[in-house]
Structure 1
C-alpha cells in the first residue's frame, strides 16, 4: 500500500479519472457509467467537472513533456463539445478552474478556439444564480457565495470581468458570517436559524484554497476561521479514515472535508509542526479509505449508491460520472496542498494512543454564544470518535435543498460515528431521540430549542447536559416551539458505554397519545429481553431502555430507508410508551454498550 499522497494520486486517482475522460472522449453524450447515461442523468454540473479534468490531464502531460499535437487536438475537440452544454454553479466554477489551468500553462490559446471562448464567456457566469442588484442567492444555501466568488475571480483572471468584481461577493459572505456567527467565526448556512454542519467547517478551507490558487492573500479573519475548522478536523482523526458523520451531503464528501481543511491549513502555515504531522498521517488514512472503500472495482466508479449504500437525493446516482470527477479533483488538489508537508512527514504515523492521552476525552466547540445553543461535542473512546452535533438544521431553502433539516435524522442531537452509530440520509426516524405524539395530532421532539449547555470531564469519561424550555413541533416545514413540555437532557460517555437521560416536564395541560423511539444498527443476531436488546455480532453489543418498552425488532437490511452512506443497517428496534401520565414528569433513558 502506498504511504504518500502523491503515490496514491499517481497510481490510483489519476489513472481512474483518465479512464473516464477517455470514455467520454470516445462516446460523448452516449457515455454510460454503471448503467447510467451520464449526460442524461440530471447532473447540472457535469460538463464543467469533465472539463476541469480534461484541462488538468493536459497540463500534467505538458509538465511531463508528453503533450503532443494529438493530445492538444483531442482536448480542443472535447472542450469545444462541452462548451455549449448547460452547466450550473459548481460546474461553472470547475470549468473556469480548468481554463485558468490552461492559461497558467500557456495552453489556453492553442486548446480553446475563439468561438468556444465566446460561448464559455457567456455561459460561465455567476449572475446565473446571484441577483446582481442586491447580491442575494437564488434559493441556494449560503456556501454558494463561495462558489459565486470563485467564478467571479476566475473571470477576472481570464480577462472577462473588470478587476475587483469578485470582492463585493466575498464581502457579502464574510458579512453574513459576522452577522450570524457572532465572534465565534463559524458559518451559519441559514439566515440565523442555526444550521452548522459540514459546510460550516469546510467553507473557510474552500475560500482559502480559492484565494491561494488565484494569487490573493488570505485575510486574517479567514485564517482565524480556518484555524478553528482545523482544530475540529484534527480532533476527528482516526485510523479508519472516517470524516464527518452527521448532517447533509456526507459519505465520501464527509471524508474529504478534513482533507480539504487540513491540506490548505498546512500550506498556509495555520498548523503547528506537530499538527502537520498528525494532519498528514490522517490524510493518508482518508485517501486509503477512498481507494479501498469508495472506489468500487466492479462498478469502475465511486460507489455511493449500491450494495446497501445511499446518499442524499441531491447527489443521486444520475450524477455518478460527475461525482467521480469532482471527488478525484478534490483529492488531486489536496495532494498538491500537502506537497511541501509530504517531504517532511511522508513516514508520519497516526498515533491515536498519544492523541487520546494528550487531549481531553471530550471537546466542545461552541458555534454561537446566545441562548439557543449551537455546538459540536467530539468524544474519544479508544479508537472510537463520536460526534454529538447540537446544530438544529434549520428549515433549509426552497427547491431541491429543502429537506426540513431541523428534524431530519442526520441532524438530530444524538451521537454519530461512521459504521457504528450511523443513520440514513434524507430520513426522519426518531433515532435515539423520542417523538411525542399528542392527542391533537402534534408531534414533538427534544430538538432545536437547546439552552444552558454544560460539559465536564469525569473520572472515566465526560458528561454533557442541556435544557429545552420547550419542545419542537416537527409536523411542519419549519421549527415551531410548542410549550407543552420542557426537558432536561444529559449524556454520559464512559469507556464502552453511552448513556442518555431525558426528563420531560409538562408545562400545560397535556394529553399524550404515545411516545416512540427507534434504534437502527449495523449489529446482528438480536436477542430480545423486556426492555433491552443484546446483539451477538457487531460493534454495538446492547441497548437498554427505561421509560419505554420494547414494541418490536425489525429486520431492515433490504429496506432503502435504512441504507446509510457506509451500508445497510440490519435491525431497527422500536420502543413505545402509550401510558404517559398527563400531569407528572416522565423519563426516557437509554444506554448503549459497544
Structure 2
C-alpha cells in the first residue's frame, strides 16, 4: 500500500477524475465522448471499438463487446414475441432465454442495463434507427415490470436485478434521456419496485418482500441471504439516493448507531463491520451469516476478494467518495496484494472456489479497476493492472465468447465446459449481459483515467514484471494467533515460470464437499475442479463403515518455507468430514493427516500421513488425478503406478503407497458426457485412480501415501 503522507501519480489522477466525473454528473458506465480516440490495440479497442463500434484493424478479436451487445439487442428486436427468443448453443437443447421461468431473478435489470448501452450510443450519434430501438426497449421493459395481480409481477427482479436497473436509470439521467425513455407512470412503478426490501426480513424462501410502511425501519441484521448482498443493497440505496428517491430507514437491535444514518451509509457501515469482524486478515467470510461458531465459518473464495472491489466501485458510482475510509482502502489493498502474485499474461483470474470461469477473470479486473480509482496502486502497478485487464478482455473475446455457436454467446456450458447450477444454461442471456456490463464499465473508468487510446505493456515487459514476483506468496485470511478463528485459513500462491499455482485452505462449510474447495493445488490447463461435484481429486478420500470422508477443513499448523528453490507447504488436518454437502459436524471421524506439498520447477509432490487414536474398523483410500490430455495419447506405465501424457501441460503422474492404480476414460460415462469431467475451462479426458486395500489404523500406527505430478511450461 502507498506510504502514509505520500501522494502518488495514481492517487492524484484518480482524485482528479472523481472530481471531474462528479462535477459533470457523469456515470462510470458512460460511453466515451469521442469513441474514435480508442486505440486499436487497447482495452477501448476491444470493448468499444472504432467509432461505429466495429473491430479496429489489428485488434485481433472477432467482434467488439459493443458489437456483442448490439447483436443481442437485434436478436430480441427481430422476434415477434420477445418471450420466445431462443439461444442455441449447439447441444441439442435451445433455451427460451426470456421466458418467465429461466431462474434468473435478475433478468429484467440485466436487460434494462445491457440494452441501455446501445440506446445511449445511438442517441449520442444521432442514429436514425434510434426511435425504432427505443420503442423495442420500452416494450420489453414495460412488459417485464408489469403486475399480473396484486403484488405479483410477470418477471421476478430481485437484488442484483434491481441494482442493474438503477445503474441504467442513472446512466440515462446523466445523458438527459431518463424522461424520454421512461414515462412518469413507469418511473413511479420503478421507484416503488427497485428497492432492497426483498433482501431483508424473515422471508428467506425467495418470495419478494415489500417495504415496511413509512417510518417503520428495517432491522439491518435481518438480511435473508449471503452477507455479500449487503453490498448489493448498498448499491441500490446509493443509486436511489442519486436519483432523488427516498429509502426506507434501518434499525439495529445491537447497534443503535445504525438508526442515526441514512440507508446508504448504514449499509456501508454494516459492510465494514462484516469484513472487520469476520476475518482478521481483512477478507469477507462468505459463510459467516449462517454459521456462527469458529469451526464452521471461513469460506474464502473469489467473492471474499471481490467484495471490497465492488464496495469501492459502488461508492464511486453513487458519488459517496467521502465515506471511502482509510480502513476500506486498506481492505482493498489486501485484495490487490492477493491478486498481484496471481497475474499472468493470458488474462486468467481465479482458478479455485465457486462462480469462476469468466467471472474469475473479471473479478481480478474489477478489483484492480477499483484500486486504480481509489489511489491504492503505484504508477507502475497502474500500468500492470491496465495491461492485465486488456489481456482479460482479449481472453473474453477469443476464449469465453464463441462466435461459432449457432447463437454466438459467452460459453460456460458446452464443449466440455461446466459452471455452477446457480449459473445454469437457462440464464445464458443474462450472463452475456452481466459479463459485458462488467467490461463496459471497467473500460469507461480506464478511459477516464487517461488510458483510452493506450496500448498495454509489451508482452516482454509484462512478463519481466511478472517474473520479478516472489516465488511464493502466503496470504492469511485469518491471522495466526486469532483465537476467534483457530483453524488455518490462507491462500498459498506459487509461481513457476509462467505457471501460477494456488493452494486455497478454506473451511467452506457449505461447499467443502466440492472439488473447487479441496486443499488441492489448482493451475490453468493442469489441475481444475468441477463445479458442484466431488470426487477424490488429488486428496486421500477415505471409505470407512460404508461412508466416504475427506480432509477438507480443520487445518492446523500451516507452514510455508522455501529451501534451495523448492517451496514446501505443510499442514495438519485434525478430522475428516463426510463427503456430502452441508454434512453435520456430528458425522466427523477421528482421523488425522499430516500433508506436505513440495513445489519444484516443473513438478509438485504431495505426501499424506494418516493416523488415528480411536478408529477400529478397516478403511480404504483413493486418490485420483484427472487430466486434460487426450485419452488416446495417455499411457499407463508397466509399473502399474504411473502414467505418461502427450500433447498436454501434464507430462507424467505417479503415486506411492497404494495397492493398485487404474487408467480410465473420464470424459464419457454410459455413453454420455461424465458431469464430473466438465470444468469451467474445458473437458477432462482421463482418470488415473489409485486405491488401497482395506487396512486398519491402530493407535500409534500410520500409513503414508503420495503422488508426484510433472508438467511442462504453460502452452
| Structure 1 and Structure 2 fold alike (TM over 0.5) | yes
Q: How many residues align?
A: 583
Structure 1 gap segments, 5+ residues each: 396-404
For 1:36, the equivalent position in structure 2 comes to 95
For 2:110, the equivalent position in structure 1 comes to 49
Shift of 1:237: 1.2
SS at structure 1 position matched to 2:610: strand
SS at structure 2 position matched to 1:515: strand
Structure 1 CA distance, aligned partners of 2:73 and 2:222? 32
For 1:203, the equivalent position in structure 2 comes to 307
Shift of 1:430: 1.4
1:82 aligned to which of 135, 144, 159:
144
1:538 aligns with 2:648: yes
For 1:334, the equivalent position in structure 2 comes to 442
2:691 aligned to which of 576, 580, 585:
576
Q: Note the 1:102-501 alignment, pairs <5 A.
A: 102-131=172-201, 133-136=218-221, 139-162=224-247, 164-182=262-280, 184-191=281-288, 193-217=297-321, 218-299=324-405, 300-339=408-447, 340-342=449-451, 346-350=455-459, 351=461, 353-369=463-479, 370=482, 371-395=486-510, 405-439=511-545, 441-475=546-580, 477-478=582-583, 480=585, 482=588, 484-501=590-607
Note the alpha carbon deviations across 1:270-315, whole angstroms, 9 max, x for none. Answer: 1111111111111111111100011111221111111111111100
SS at structure 2 position matched to 1:430: coil
Which stretch has the larger CA shift, 14-23 or 441-450? 441-450
Determine if contact 1:362/1:462 at 8 Å carries over to the other structure.
yes
Structure 2 CA distance, aligned partners of 1:114 and 1:153? 21
Structure 2 CA distance, aligned partners of 1:537 and 1:548? 27
Determine if contact 1:580/1:586 at 8 Å carries over to the other structure.
no
Structure 1 CA distance, aligned partners of 2:624 and 2:575? 22
Which stretch has the larger CA shift, 32-41 or 304-313? 32-41
Question: Does the C-alpha gap of structure 1 residues 493 and 113 become closer, same or farther in structure 2, counting only changes over 3 Å?
Answer: same
Structure 1 CA distance, aligned partners of 2:467 and 2:69? 40
SS at structure 2 position matched to 1:367: strand
Q: Note the 1:90-101 alignment, pairs <5 A.
A: 90-101=160-171
Shift of 1:540: 0.6
Shift of 1:388: 0.7
Structure 2 gap segments, 5+ residues each: 1-38, 50-63, 89-93, 147-154, 202-216, 248-260, 668-672
Structure 2 CA distance, aligned partners of 1:186 and 1:515? 35
Structure 2 CA distance, aligned partners of 1:229 and 1:591? 32
- Greater radius of gyration (CA): 2
Question: Does the C-alpha gap of structure 1 residues 152 and 561 become closer, same or farther in structure 2, counting only changes over 3 Å?
Answer: same
For 1:561, the equivalent position in structure 2 comes to 676
Note the alpha carbon deviations across 1:558-594, whole angstroms, 9 max, x for none. Answer: 3222111111100011111024343220111111000
Structure 1 CA distance, aligned partners of 2:361 and 2:240? 30
Shift of 1:155: 1.7
Structure 2 CA distance, aligned partners of 1:476 and 1:386? 26
Which stretch has the larger CA shift, 557-566 or 345-354? 345-354
So what's the TM-score if we normalise by structure 2? 0.78
Shift of 1:31: 1.2
So what's the TM-score if we normalise by structure 1? 0.94
Shift of 1:74: 4.3
For 1:402, the equivalent position in structure 2 comes to none
